[in-house]
Chain A
Amino acid sequence: MNSQLRRAVSTAFVGALGIAALAACGEQSKDSSDGGSGKSRTVTLVSHDSFAASPAVLKEFTEQTGYKVKVLKSGDAGAALNKEILTKGSPQGDVFFGVDNTLLSRALQNDLFIPYEAKGLDQVADEVQLDKDKHRVTPVDTGDICVNYDKKYFADKKLAPPQTFDDLAEPAYKNLLVVENAATSSPGLGFLLGTVAEYGDEGWQDYWKKLDANGVKVVDGWEQAYNEEFSGSAGGKKAKADRPLVVSYASSPPVEVLYSDPQPAEAPTGVATGTCFRQIEFAGLLDGAKNEAGGKALLDFLITKKFQEDMPLNMFVNPVVKDAKLPELFTEHGAVVDKPETVAPETITKNREQWVQSWSSLVLK
């Protein structure tokens, strides 16, 4: 048994070396084709699954700086951040993109990022710079989590679509709304935080009791809510979905237009602009990054007009740079959210677990 164990351990080691060598070879042959000698010419961006950028724009970054971008998608926003916290000090990449205001404090408390003041930050709107003093993170985009409605349903019923949180609890909209689980889904959490911001720590639970009595349906993730339950989406139509109200994003209607063939003149869905919670997404230079110089260049690039104007049609979010133009598709079919709800990141971190727990016991039975 003893010799068997020893043999096993030594084989494990040799086998591991073999696999590592194999993997290293694969990487090396790719790296050497970049022509890099000594310093790495690749900068690795770790992000969540929703990250997307036009190949042309990434190519332009390479032309400007000489760095090639390698993107590692690391699961949904929460999982991606948690992975970075677990691998702190030995990160998978150089820059992390996609920590939002609901998770920001968790990232900052864990000292994930090296401070760096990105070039061009003076062009970024003031109200989204939530770490203004230390510059550990750089704001990159904003998005609004709002209730979407099925235009056809409300037109057929000759009923005005709801506009505010209060409306959703009205009897006219009984059994129409589907929301995501706040414990497992980021739009679900965003909507809960929106109600907390609207009704305060005292009132939000009463509001949810009303929603519950008004027949709100809770499903686990955005995919189920939007594709299976919401009657306004393409998937929902096929699934004969019967909920004309869903928690999604202010940018969902333009996306419905973009991914239709042929594109309709008018989006099939609309946004209840009085039900919005604002998400701000940040990027930061990871502590332990192997390519710090490349990471800094990438952070600068994320807030250039070039990248900012590419984002809306890829990630369906809004630019944070002041003079970045929105594509026509957005201005035509998207909603302008004047007064989105917000909650300070520290308040969210402090109360999140307790809010989600009270919410769960109120709504999930």
Chain B
Amino acid sequence: MAVPVAFFALFFAYPVTAIVGRGLNVDGVWQLGRIGEVLGRPELLRVLWFTTWQALASTALTLLIALPGAYVFARFDFPGKRLLRAVVTVPFVLPTVVVGTAFLALLGRGGLLDDLWGVRLDTTVWAILLAHVFFNYAVVVRTVGGLWSQLDPRQEEAARVLGAGRFAAWRSVTLPALGPVVAAATLMIFLFTFTSFGVVQILGGPTFATLEVEIYRQTAHLLDLSTAAVLTLVQLAAVGTVLAVHAWTVRRRESALRLVDPALTARRPRGAGQWALLCAVLATVALLLLAPLAVLVERSFDTPQGYGFAYYRELGTVDPTGGAFLVPPVEAVWNSLQYALVATAIAVAVGGLAAAALTRRAGRFVRGFDALLMLPLGVSAVTVGFGFLITLDEPPLDLRASWILVPLAQALVGVPFVVRTMLPVLRAVDQRLREAAAVLGASPLRAWREVDLPLVRRALLIAAGFAFAVSLGEFGATVFIARPDRPTLPVAVARLLGRPGELNYGQAMALSTILMAVCAVALLLLERIRTGVRSDNTTEEF
């Protein structure tokens, strides 16, 4: 418990409190009146309103489109399923700069919809909503689908034998079992879309802004720290409320489930209805997720001399005039991998210890901490970044120029994933096993190694994989702690896109494609681990 509390306090609570305090405390006087004043400004209320409704709409649309997908991935067997499941997760970890580009190619001028029906969505709010679906599809497929595949279909069949109709059986057996995990997925998507930054900035243009975008603008451009502080508090309050509601509803609905090996529940689709469902889902995936990714890949090969590897070759050379980097851009791959590995180690250590502590102890303090660990997802990167700058600036903690700051910032975003993945598994471990080990003379460490570790090994690997992928794609915080000699992949992509010229654009596309490939390979390895080891009786939120 102590380590995660310390980590959280030092690298999250302290910097965020400091920067908010700096905004609201001018020359030693608290300017609490600013809160009312800022909240009274109509344009900021409009931002709050837009933030809320677009998040609700995005979440609803994502569930609507992705739940059938979750069902198909859980219950049906079809060739290429594992690969496809890895690929639909790629958008989730791609930097938004790249996703915005990909998405415009689909929805914008000359995009697929424009070519087919002359429909352009790039200037409407639909582009934002659909991009959010694109990003968060995998959350539903992985969380809900993960549990769905482990629900014993015989329970529903039993209900039907007892006379329930198809829908009634589903409603009374499957729906309650899925309830908590759907709630968890809804929560995650709501958090992501409520704090959406890149998508809204690129696709929404200057007319749509979320709180997160407004905080960035007030901090980074206008240096209006007090307005930014108030908006940060508003966002924290909103996110806190959502977390509290979630914790309350899940506790009321949490129940023990009988779970089976996912390999036993999936089968080939039968009958026209099931085939049609499978085809509809695959078509949606192809149109909404694969098409934009394919566009990026296509552009990375599309050189003036025809299709070729010219842009990829260019990535290995140093621009003789200096250019955007002092090193060949391809080195960003190694930088990213190294940072992501360190960040994963930190996230797994901190998140794992937090999850362990949350399993062993109960009480309001501990439960509150559970929610607190989710907060980094709800606080803007600019707030954390500026907080780092003004708090970690004195020896022994002058970390501002240190490489360790990058993985620390990335780990902050990875920890919530680790906790969400590990917690349900750890809670499922029978306490009596640990007690038995202790009675037989094992030390607590030995008991953990012999009892907990074998049972949670798989979840641990999955958690590590997610933390790794998140670190790989993290942009907002990383860009703040820039070291020009060691750019990460997303930072390098952004920097190339920031200069004119064919070669720079082509290299940005090629690097994005490499980022996608690295993500996909990492996730495929994850799938192997997930299915390679025999399934235990556990739920996975991810």
Contacts and interface: CB of A to CB of B under 8 A. Distances in A.
B220 A50 contact: no
Contacts of B219: 82
A15 B223 CA distance: 32
B401 A16 contact: no
B396 A17 contact: yes
Contacts of B402: 23, 26-27
A19 B504 contact: no
Contact of B223 (A19, A54, A106, A255): A106
A183 to B, nearest CB: 7
A114 interface: no
Interface in B284-306: 299, 302-304
A92 B109 CA distance: 44
Contacts of B324: 52
A351 interface: no
A20 B395 contact: yes
A250 to B, nearest CB: 12
Contacts of B499: 255, 259
B217 A183 contact: yes
Interface string B307-336: 000100010001011111010000000000
A347 interface: no
Contacts of B501: 234, 255-256, 258-260
Given A220-B201, A256-B500, A72 B401 contact: yes
B6 interface: yes
Contacts of B401: 27, 44, 70, 72, 92-93
B505 A26 contact: no
A67 interface: no
Nearest to A148: B500
Contacts of A240: 109-110
Contacts of A82: 219-221, 223
Interface in A1-59: 1, 4, 7-9, 11-12, 15-17, 19-24, 26-27, 44, 49-55, 57
A251 B408 CA distance: 39
Contacts of B390: 86-87
B506 A220 contact: no
Contacts of A261: 303-304, 310, 314, 502-503
A90 B310 CA distance: 45
Given A23-B402, A234-B501, A12 B321 contact: no
A142 interface: no
B45 to A, nearest CB: 16
A232 to B, nearest CB: 10
Contact of B482 (A72, A181, A221, A227): A72
Contact of B202 (A70, A73, A224): A224
A353 B6 contact: no
A222 interface: yes
B389 to A, nearest CB: 6
A93 B482 CA distance: 13
A15 B10 contact: yes
Contacts of A20: 395-399
A293 interface: no
Nearest to B97: A223
Nearest to A262: B304
B220 A11 contact: no
Interface in A56-84: 57, 70-76, 78-79, 82-83
B265 interface: no
A71 B484 CA distance: 7
Contact of A79 (B22, B105, B221, B495): B221
A240 B115 CA distance: 12
B321 A313 contact: yes
A223 B498 contact: yes
A348 interface: no
Nearest to B363: A1
Nearest to B321: A313
Indicate the size class of the contact surface on chain A: 35 or more
Given A86-B386, A183-B206, A259-B503, A8 B6 contact: yes
A11 B223 contact: no
B123 to A, nearest CB: 9
Contacts of B485: 71
A234 B505 contact: yes
Interface string A86-103: 110010110000000000
A50 B497 CA distance: 12
A365 B43 CA distance: 12
A186 to B, nearest CB: 9
Given A8-B2, A52-B324, A19 B500 contact: no
B9 interface: yes
Contacts of B498: 49-50, 222-223
B528 to A, nearest CB: 33
A67 B386 CA distance: 29
A304 B219 CA distance: 35
B448 to A, nearest CB: 19
Contacts of A259: 499-504
B483 interface: yes
Contact of B105 (A8, A93, A239): A239
Given A49-B495, A92-B401, A260-B304, A87 B393 contact: yes
Interface string B135-160: 00000000000000000000000000
A2 to B, nearest CB: 11
Nearest to A70: B401
A90 B394 contact: yes
Contacts of B202: 220, 224
A364 B207 contact: yes
A353 B399 CA distance: 34
A26 B396 contact: no
B404 A1 contact: no
A327 B334 CA distance: 35
A117 interface: no
Q: Which 5 A-B pairs have the closest CB atoms?
A: A259-B501, A240-B110, A12-B6, A234-B502, A23-B402
11 contacts: A70-B401, A75-B479, A82-B223, A92-B389, A92-B400, A233-B500, A234-B501, A239-B104, A239-B108, A353-B222, A364-B206
Interface of A: 1, 4, 7-9, 11-12, 15-17, 19-24, 26-27, 44, 49-55, 57, 70-76, 78-79, 82-83, 85-87, 90, 92-93, 106, 181, 183-184, 218-224, 226-228, 233-235, 238-242, 248, 252, 255-256, 258-261, 310, 313-314, 353, 360, 364-365
Given A239-B104, A256-B501, 9 more contacts: A11-B2, A52-B324, A54-B322, A76-B220, A83-B386, A86-B389, A90-B393, A240-B109, A259-B501
